[in-house]
Amino acid sequence: MKFGFVRNDLDSSPGQSLDGSFRKSNSVISTHSVSGVSSSSKYFQTSRRVYKGLKDFGREFIDQELFNQSLDDWILENYGVDQVTGEQPFLKPPFLTDELRKLDLALEGVFFQQLFRMPCSPLASKSVKEDGYHALEDFLHVIVNGLWRTFWRKSGPLPFSLCCFHHPGSKFYAVEKAISRGRLEELRGLALISKNGNNLKVHWNQVVELVLFRQNILSGNELKLSVSTICEALFYGVHILISRCLSKSRTISDDSVFIMVFDSKFGAVIKLGGDLSKLELNTGDPYQSVAHWIKCHAEVLLSSVETIWNRLGNANWGDLGTLQVLLAAFYSIVQCNGPPRKSISSLASAHSLRLQKRRIECRLAENENAKIPYQQDGYQHGEIVELDHSDNPLVKNTSHLKLRQGEILLLEDQQQGQKSFQIQESFIGGNYFLYGAISLDYPTQLLTLYVGAHPSRLEPSWEDMSLWYQVQRQTKVLNILKHQGVSSKYLPEVIASGRILHPGPCKKQTPSVRCDHPWCGTPILVTLPVGEPLSYIVARDGPFSSDDALRCCRDCLVALRSAATASVQHGDISPENIIRVFNMQGTRHKVLYIPVSWGRAVLEDRDSPAINLQFSSSHALQHGKLCPASDAESLVYLLFFVTGGRMHPQDSIESALQWREKSWATRSIQQHLGEVSPLLKAFSDYVDSLCGTPYPVDYDIWVKRLNRAVDGSGSADRGKMIEEVAMTLRLENVAESSGTSGGGT
């Protein structure tokens, strides 16, 4: 007889495991979920009779030796090495290699330091075993604290504790207390415990993950786990799952558990999961019953055995073994405390920026006296070479200036004179050319460099008019903001602007005219910062979390509020024009969302905004003008998109207006954002009440509310503060230079 609770989404019929792991029928753990955490954690209600039966079953299931006898043959059969290939065909690891690699990138810059060294000799003597437990406790504390501070919360108390145990159902002790009471030889390992408020009594259902500490976990001289080690891990894993199932609070997902096994050198991770509703309770032999459940209805995943500590007792941080332990701890915390505030993908995406900075540092270190770290073939190192444009293939093929990585660009700025920039990477998208570059005066800071169109080409090509908006017009708008004292870290800043100094002799008579060279007079705009557009991030990483969406909304509103103080509206809010920037200070990673592409900004009534069928406001589509709430309305559409809302492609202004009218009328936008955050739903309701009206957006009140949600700050002053940008490249009195003068609308 099986005890009576059923999950409706499970298939109880026996069959082959979907992923080929240690099981013979479907488990509650979805193979389509993240490998460490089930995508479904549906708890079930049990009757009193079933509850008592399961509780009695757990009390009877206490003899590990009998359990080992029931399971060791099956483990040998599935865990054995193939005599022909030498491989382990039945073994499936709990983590994909890509997951471990992404975690490695996400934890770059996170400092892990184990102060207690693991003793190198086997855990034979009492003193060595004491040192081993102190080292293991320190190792686990460093891991849990590092993960929690990196992904969940940087401050506040840690919601976990580490305790040692003797056997299933035993009391938990601090390591020091167990040693002082002379119970060291009885200890089996440590458990990560979820704190339960002020209740000091710890129960087994509070175990987040279990760590077994043995004298030797290997099978003879082979680098694989012994059968007894695997059996002991599964024995404790079953007890934890039963304890979670019997818990009334059920704060931890009860469908899987991670068990780590260590000795003084090696370590491995075992994951046990399955549907306990398929466990037979009244067979008379609980050990055979559990063995049958593991063989037929559970999922057992085993990692490879890896070296954790080197010969000096230091942990091999960043190696495969510690990464497996870190990822198991990460998923265990997710099971207990829910998704992190910062995802692994979001932190890993900052790797490219760190890599770019390191490349710049290495190039500069190659030659300390070289102002120009890039060397073109055939020319002396550090020399800026003027090429005859008749031999330049770029001039022959196109009248647009297309730059390659490593090339040096000379910019003539009327206010600052000549400036040199080196191209680092190219981003060609939309109708404008965009590059990542560094200033040769300050080569450690990556900048955004826009290349405009030659003034003579503005008439025949709509593409070149778009370039004019991106360079000349955007320069004018950003300079207006600067001259009116608007300075915020949520707004881009002009570093330099002007005309390019083309290769070869220039035949212009005066600075205000142009020669016949196709590049002469081509405008350049250099801004800070550099980031990834939201359209790219969503396509790569998927929809935003609630925390990311709230932060994005807050940052964009702060930027729009700052611009509004100068009577400037953005006019082109879209995923392509919002970038995510990682502001890295030491080990801290602060994410900023910054509106860029201010070339279509509305300064006065005669200005026309950009028309985007998906993200423009209804007023902009109908009248070709902005109302005071148009940018906020576009921001709502952007939040709807980045959080996974379905936006069908529109082929006309009429169809775009119909979609907006239907979406607002049926409240589908508000309902979707409400599933992400009640605050975003309230904001969309507020914007709905302002659409098309002459009433301005009350940015202050919404920034204040979003500050409270994002940073936990209730200070109104914090929401109203315009934060200054601290940068070494800040230039005083940046005005429109020769390449951008006269570019108004």
Which CATH number do you get for residue 452? 3.30.200.20
What was the pLDDT predicted at 90?
62
Segment 557-568 shows an average pLDDT of 96
The tokens describing 649, both together, are 């492609």
DSSP sequence for 462-487: HHHHHHHIIIIIHHHHHHHHHHTT--
pLDDT in tens, 93-130: 899 988 999 999 899 878 888 899 998 876 667 788 88
486 and 549: one domain? no
pLDDT over threshold 80, residue 366? no
What was the pLDDT predicted at 729?
33
What was the pLDDT predicted at 365?
53
Q: Is residue 296 part of a domain?
A: yes
Q: Is residue 186 part of a domain?
A: yes
The tokens describing 311, both together, are 């010969």
- Which of the 8 DSSP states describes residue 94? S
Segment 493-515 shows an average pLDDT of 75
524 and 551: one domain? no
pLDDT in tens, 633-663: 999 999 999 999 998 888 899 999 999 999 9
The tokens describing 681, both together, are 């739903």
285, 60 Cβ separation under 8 angstroms: no
212, 263 Cβ separation under 8 angstroms: no
> In what helix (H) or strand (E) does residue 420 lie, and over which residues does it extend?
strand 417-429
What was the pLDDT predicted at 579?
95
What was the pLDDT predicted at 395?
36
Residues facing residue 161 across a β-bridge = 193
C-alpha 397/C-alpha 20 separation (Å) is 56
Rama region for 714: left / alpha / beta (φ>0; ψ in -120 to 50; rest): alpha
pLDDT over threshold 90, residue 553? yes
pLDDT in tens, 414-432: 778 888 899 888 774 443 4
465 and 574: one domain? no
Residues facing residue 173 across a β-bridge = 164
Band (pLDDT 50/70/90 cuts) for residue 209 is: very high
Band (pLDDT 50/70/90 cuts) for residue 315 is: very high
How many separate domains does the chain show? 3
680 and 560: one domain? yes
Q: Is residue 142 part of a domain?
A: yes
Band (pLDDT 50/70/90 cuts) for residue 713 is: low
126 and 266: one domain? yes
Band (pLDDT 50/70/90 cuts) for residue 51 is: confident
CATH number, position 567: 1.10.510.10
Q: Is residue 17 part of a domain?
A: no
pLDDT over threshold 50, residue 627? yes
Higher pLDDT, 723 or 238: 238
493 and 633: one domain? no
pLDDT over threshold 90, residue 327? yes
C-alpha 123/C-alpha 218 separation (Å) is 14
Higher pLDDT, 309 or 511: 309
Segment 492-506 shows an average pLDDT of 83
444 and 461: one domain? yes
Pairing label, strands 207-213, 417-429: unpaired
474, 466 Cβ separation under 8 angstroms: no
What was the pLDDT predicted at 84?
53
Task: Give the lowest-confidence range in 301-315, 327-341, 582-596, 706-720.
Answer: 706-720
Pairing label, strands 298-302, 266-274: antiparallel
Reduced to 3 states, what is the DSSP secondary structure of residue 132? Answer: helix
Higher pLDDT, 30 or 141: 141
What domain range is 678 assigned to?
A: 533-711
494 and 613: one domain? no
pLDDT over threshold 50, residue 52? yes
C-alpha 492/C-alpha 478 separation (Å) is 8
What was the pLDDT predicted at 276?
85
500 and 611: one domain? no
pLDDT over threshold 70, residue 237? yes
What was the pLDDT predicted at 600?
93
pLDDT over threshold 80, residue 588? no
- For the chain, give the percent of residues with pLDDT over 90: 41
Q: Is residue 729 part of a domain?
A: no
Whole-model pTM?
Answer: 0.53
Q: Is residue 1 part of a domain?
A: no
CB under 8 Å to 393, separation ≥6 — which residues?
A: none
Average pLDDT over the chain, rounded to an integer:
78
C-alpha 383/C-alpha 379 separation (Å) is 7
Segment 208-236 shows an average pLDDT of 91
* Last-in-domain residue among 299, 326, 346: 346
pLDDT over threshold 90, residue 329? yes
pLDDT over threshold 60, residue 20? no
97 and 163: one domain? yes
Higher pLDDT, 280 or 515: 280
Note the maximum CA span of the chain.
103
What was the pLDDT predicted at 546?
94
Reduced to 3 states, what is the DSSP secondary structure of residue 528? Answer: strand
Segment 500-529 shows an average pLDDT of 75
Task: Give the lowest-confidence range in 82-96, 215-229, 332-346, 629-643.
Answer: 82-96
How remote is the C-alpha of 250 from its chain's centroid?
Answer: 28
308 and 450: one domain? no
The tokens describing 489, both together, are 């870290």
Q: Tell me which range, 26-30, 159-163, 288-292, 558-562, is most confidently predicted by mean pLDDT.
A: 558-562
The tokens describing 281, both together, are 């309770």
Q: Is residue 281 part of a domain?
A: yes
What was the pLDDT predicted at 145?
93
C-alpha 172/C-alpha 180 separation (Å) is 14
Task: Give the lowest-confidence range in 103-112, 320-329, 544-553.
Answer: 103-112
Q: Is residue 368 part of a domain?
A: no
- Among the listed residues 532, 738, 741, 554, the one whose alpha carbon sits nearest the alpha carbon of residue 639: 554
Q: Does residue 529 have a cis bond before it (omega within 30 degrees)?
A: yes
What was the pLDDT predicted at 598?
95
What was the pLDDT predicted at 307?
93
Q: Tell me which range, 2-6, 10-14, 271-275, 561-565, is most confidently predicted by mean pLDDT.
A: 561-565
C-alpha 302/C-alpha 351 separation (Å) is 29
What was the pLDDT predicted at 510?
65
Higher pLDDT, 476 or 589: 476
524 and 577: one domain? no
